[in-house]
Structure 1
Amino acid sequence: MSTSFHQIYNRYFDSLLLSRVPSDNAGERLEVPSSAGAGAVSRLVTPSGIEIVLSDHCFQAERLCRFRSDEAMVELSFCMQGGGEVDVSGETHELLPGNCSLHLMQGFEATFRYPSEQPIRTVAIGVPVALFEAYMSGGGAGPTRRASAGATFAGLLGERPFRMFRKSIDSRSSRLILQMLDCSYMSVMRHMYLEGKALELLAGSIETFLFGEGPSGSPASGLSRSDREKVREAEELLLGRMEAPPSLLELSRLVGLNDYKLKIGFKEQYGKSVFAYLRDRRLEKAWSLLQTGEISVSQASVMVGYANFSHFAETFRKQFGIRPSDIRRDNR
């Protein structure tokens, strides 16, 4: 991991002062020293050159890391828990839980700030620029081919050292991330499995970020930028009140958007109706709660807003193909 864009990750982890330890999965494991906190980072490079980084750690005191790099990279990042702040060449961005972001970078300086006593769980997928360009210039004809022809690394980045696209993590991405985190394969099979999931995540995110707009540059529904911000606000409110969500009309009133635009905009941005999306996120949270082995099925049911335990158990089984009680038993 000492050549090309992997140097970006090397400099980042070196500046965090993590300790390298041998890994059983033919990758690299970096641990937070016990004097500084707890947790670790796992990273591996697949045969195609993609780097996959799984982070789960917590610092005792506020952690600040700075580095610069001349290398170029495309990165897809998912923040499931925690947060912080990053300043990249003069632009400050907040690291937000529940968000997915696509980064393009080259010749930049970065400063990361992580708060104390805050668990951080992220998945990052680093993609070589050459591989990104190969995907974007793939064969075929028609509107998709014409769209991808303009989505070059240089064209998207322009004269800037850094560019970011961001959205909330959708239910499909959440499922793929859970599958990556639950991967039980070892060695070569682990590489194959994780790369397949990473490519699925990359394909869905690029479709949304780069090709999700109509030919005029506006979404097909005609919603304004302000309307789309209100839809994102509605999503945050919905997840913040997951155990007792507002009705569609109340949600519309809270964000200042009529219910028709909210329904159309939500389906456009998240691929599902408002409450189908809420159902998926409830079940995903329940899965995470049960994985700790410390929460009972009935407790998880109530915590994600299901008053009827039997209905919760059946909905969970249909969604994931496994009973919630099996998740808890396996992780106790």
Structure 2
Amino acid sequence: MHRHERLRLANDGGQIEHLCFANGLLTGRGDYRLEQAHAGSYQDTETVFGAGLLLAGHFDLEIRDLRLRERISTDRIWIHSGHFPSMRYCQPPGERLQSITVEVSDSLLESWREESPKSINASVRRALRRSGPTFEALPGTGRSARLIARRMLHLDTTDLCERLEFESLALDLLVRLLRADDGSEPGLTAAERRDRRLRVALEEARDILDTDLTATPTIAELARRVGLNECYLKTGFRQRFGSTIGVYARAQRLEHARRLIEREGHGVQEAAQAVGYSSLGWFSSCFQSHFGYRPSHLGRRLRH
């Protein structure tokens, strides 16, 4: 048994969704863009234990009882628990915000406290032991957690199989968060740590391009999301993957459009819109340039 709530924003601004599964796991996801800045507050909220991460965008958060004032962005993963008398937030206009949250039930948390496994990272262990509210960032990059979260963001939870996959990924995400490393990377030199961080950031940039097919981020947005300056990102991406970011992103979108037409029976216009092309003529031209034939030819071939 599960509960499912979905809020669609006006004018195709996106949606916010919450799912509660039979095991007590509560998950949330958002993918939307606000036309106007929005400020608000939550009063007397209670969380047993939860974690959240942004895959795109940012917002400002203030929790006066904790003397916390932070800009929540894509560079950190946050854990939270306890009672919060008041939380204030402010979201900017025109920026796409993508988020995933996971919260656990009382009974599950009590079993964790009793077991207190050593495999759980120190930050979470400290939070589990506290009696008061906690809101803090996990150390480390959390790349594996973000990869899982991106997959969760794009599943169709109205479909039984994809909903089961969503629940499985939520549990996997929770495991990755609980085991998050502290970023110390023992045994590596300073140069090796820099190279590793660059490699991880570049792979994360590629993963973003592989999943955000409807609205490909700009170079500036992509650089901000993976924590690199634009020059390092463009140069490093070309050296590591043998292609510029623009060429790679366009190829991924067109490959996905072909799969939609060829394997899932989508019409040409429907496939174009699914990968972010508003002009059917421009989509057809790009498709022919990439594959050597127009998408309409593929549709006719499949009908015969």
TM normalised by structure 2 equals 0.63
**Residue 192 of structure 2 corresponds to residue 263 of structure 1:** yes
* Aligned residues of 1:81 and 1:98 also touching (Cα < 8 A): no
1:134 — aligned with what?
111
Deviation of 1:182 after TM superposition, in Å, equals 2.7
2:282 — aligned with what?
none
* Aligned residues of 1:56 and 1:122 also touching (Cα < 8 A): yes
Q: Superposed, which structure 2 residues align to 1:244-255 within 5 Å?
A: none
TM normalised by structure 1 equals 0.58
**Structure 1: how far apart are the matches of 2:28 and 2:167?**
11
2:204 — aligned with what?
281
1:270 — aligned with what?
none
2:37 — aligned with what?
62
**Residue 166 of structure 2 corresponds to residue 194 of structure 1:** yes
* Aligned residues of 2:113 and 2:128 also touching (Cα < 8 A): no
Deviation of 1:49 after TM superposition, in Å, equals 1.4
* Unaligned ranges ≥5, structure 1: 1-24, 224-259, 267-272, 296-300, 317-321
2:73 — aligned with what?
96
* Aligned residues of 1:75 and 1:124 also touching (Cα < 8 A): yes
Matched letter for residue 19 of structure 2 = L
Matched letter for residue 151 of structure 1 = R
1:83 — aligned with what?
58
* Corresponding pairs, count: 239
**Residue 19 of structure 2 corresponds to residue 44 of structure 1:** yes
* Unaligned ranges ≥5, structure 2: 219-232, 261-270, 273-304
* Aligned residues of 1:85 and 1:95 also touching (Cα < 8 A): yes
Matched letter for residue 274 of structure 1 = R
**Residue 237 of structure 2 corresponds to residue 305 of structure 1:** yes
Q: Which segment is superposed worse, 123-132 or 44-53?
A: 123-132
Q: Calculate the aligned-residue CA RMSD, in Å.
A: 4.0
Which of 135, 153, 164 is the matching residue for 1:181? 153
1:151 — aligned with what?
125
Matched letter for residue 94 of structure 1 = R
Deviation of 1:79 after TM superposition, in Å, equals 0.6
* Aligned residues of 1:98 and 1:168 also touching (Cα < 8 A): no
1:15 — aligned with what?
none
